[in-house]
């Protein structure tokens, strides 16, 4: 099923809802109402639950997930949700607590089974040795951008399938079956991706935001410099000059940024270094080809491999 901002079981259901003037939740027959904080978790939930869940994504690939407005439609969706699937690790710290309070839904509050945090299911990279706001937008638990590593997505999928079964016991066997099918297809895809990505191992890169440590670890990429002097801070002229000096000593092959990033900094650097800028989809919906989780990694690798072709 294609995941959109609202995932409907069918176009007929949408037409009926509009005709009758019903709210989307009311029109659906799904067992669970799920709100995902980011598109990748909406896509994963759809893989695991299919028609058993109605899935709403709070953000799109064109939005910075650190900064989201708790708009009325989002509050209403969370108020009626059975399950809230988020990254966690403070990625949504700027808006999710307010959203939970305004929604007033006890089922999705911290500590309740209705709140699932993907980052809590995997090992995190970039855990800071100290916490100081002077160091920028750091996350105490570690870097939360785990969705760029398919191996971590596999571990999140196993935990999410168990949570879905816990919340919807009559369909526990369905979630187990769908997870087994997803896990088999996902592992086969990982094997294929890793085989095709062999030429990327050791590739020196520049990143715009510290959003790719898991992709770097998975593929063996080597980060030479970051355009942001500190996480979440725009680069100053002095910092960009320092990056240029670094690249003269230690050349890179390309500049990575996410689809939602402002591209001005990376273009400034590209004009002076002639390095290609690769805008990765970063999540489901970040490009035309990244229509689901499989498309996300197919397109990510295709863009990286194209950029390093001789």
Q: 173: buried, middle or exposed (CB in 10 Å: 19+, 13-18, 0-12)?
A: exposed
Strand partners, 279: 257
pLDDT in tens, 62-90: 998 988 888 999 999 999 999 999 999 99
The mean-pLDDT minimum among 22-26, 64-68, 243-247 falls in 22-26
Q: Is residue 250 over pLDDT 60?
A: yes
pLDDT of residue 3: 42
pLDDT of residue 28: 45
Quick check: pTM over 0.85?
yes
Q: Is residue 15 over pLDDT 90?
A: no
pLDDT in tens, 175-220: 999 999 999 999 999 999 999 999 999 999 999 888 899 999 999 9
Q: Are 223 and 216 in contact (CB under 8 A)?
A: yes
The residue among 175, 123, 169 whose CA lies nearest residue 149 is 123
Q: Is residue 12 over pLDDT 50?
A: no
Overall average pLDDT of the 113-141 stretch: 82
Q: Which residue has the higher pLDDT, 115 or 1?
A: 115
pLDDT of residue 7: 38
Structure tokens at 170: 């009559």
pLDDT of residue 1: 38
Structure tokens at 222: 């080597």
SS (H, E, C) the chain: CCCCCECCCCHHHHHHHHHHCCCHHHHCCCCEEEEECCHHHHHHHHHHHHHHEEEEECCCCCCCCCCCCCCHHHHHHHHCCCEEEECCCCCCCCCHHHHHHHHCCHHHCCCCCCEEEHHHHCCCCCCCCCCCHHHCCCCCCCCCCHHHCHHHHHHHHHHHHHHHHHHCHHHHHHHHHHHHHHHHHHHHHHHHHHHHCHHHCCCEEEECCCCCHHHHHHHCCEEEEECCCCCCCCCCHHHHHHHHHHHHHCCCCEEEEECCCCCHHHHHHHHHHCCCEEEECCCCCCCCCCCCHHHHHHHHHHHHHHHCCC
CB count, 10 Å around CB of 305?
Answer: 14
Q: Which residue has the higher pLDDT, 104 or 127?
A: 104
- What is the pLDDT of the chain when averaged over all its residues? 88
pLDDT in tens, 271-300: 999 999 999 999 999 999 999 999 999 999
pLDDT of residue 299: 98
The mean-pLDDT minimum among 74-83, 129-138, 222-231 falls in 129-138
């Amino acid at each position: 099923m294609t995941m959109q901002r609202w995932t409907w079981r069918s176009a007929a259901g949408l037409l009926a809802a509009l005709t009758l003037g019903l709210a989307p939740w009311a029109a659906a027959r799904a067992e669970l109402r799920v709100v995902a904080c980011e598109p990748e978790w909406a896509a994963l939930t759809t893989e695991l639950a299919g028609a058993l869940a109605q899935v709403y994504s709070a953000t799109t690939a064109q939005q910075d997930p650190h900064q989201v407005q708790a708009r009325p439609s989002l509050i209403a969706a969370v108020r009626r949700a059975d399950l809230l699937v988020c990254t966690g690790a403070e990625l949504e710290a700027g808006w999710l607590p307010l959203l939970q309070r305004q929604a007033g839904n006890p089922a999705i509050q911290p500590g309740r089974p209705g709140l699932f945090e993907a980052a809590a299911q995997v090992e995190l990279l970039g855990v800071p040795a100290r916490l100081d706001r002077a160091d920028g937008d750091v996350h105490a638990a570690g870097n939360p951008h785990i969705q760029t590593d398919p191996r971590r997505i596999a571990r999140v999928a196993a935990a999410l399938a168990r949570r879905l079964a816990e919340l919807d016991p009559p369909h526990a066997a369905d979630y187990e079956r769908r997870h087994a099918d997803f896990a088999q297809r996902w592992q086969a895809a990982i094997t294929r991706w890793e085989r095709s990505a062999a030429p990327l191992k050791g590739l020196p890169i520049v990143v715009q935001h510290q959003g790719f440590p898991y992709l770097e670890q998975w593929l063996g990429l080597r980060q030479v410099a970051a355009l942001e002097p500190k996480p979440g801070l725009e680069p100053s002229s002095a910092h960009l000059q320092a990056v240029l000096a670094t690249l003269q000593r230690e050349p890179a092959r390309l500049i990575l940024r996410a689809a939602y990033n402002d591209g001005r900094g990376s273009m400034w650097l590209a004009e002076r270094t002639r390095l290609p800028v690769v805008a990765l989809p970063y999540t489901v919906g970040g490009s035309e080809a990244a229509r689901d989780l499989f498309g996300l990694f197919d397109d990510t690798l295709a863009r990286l491999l194209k950029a390093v072709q001789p």
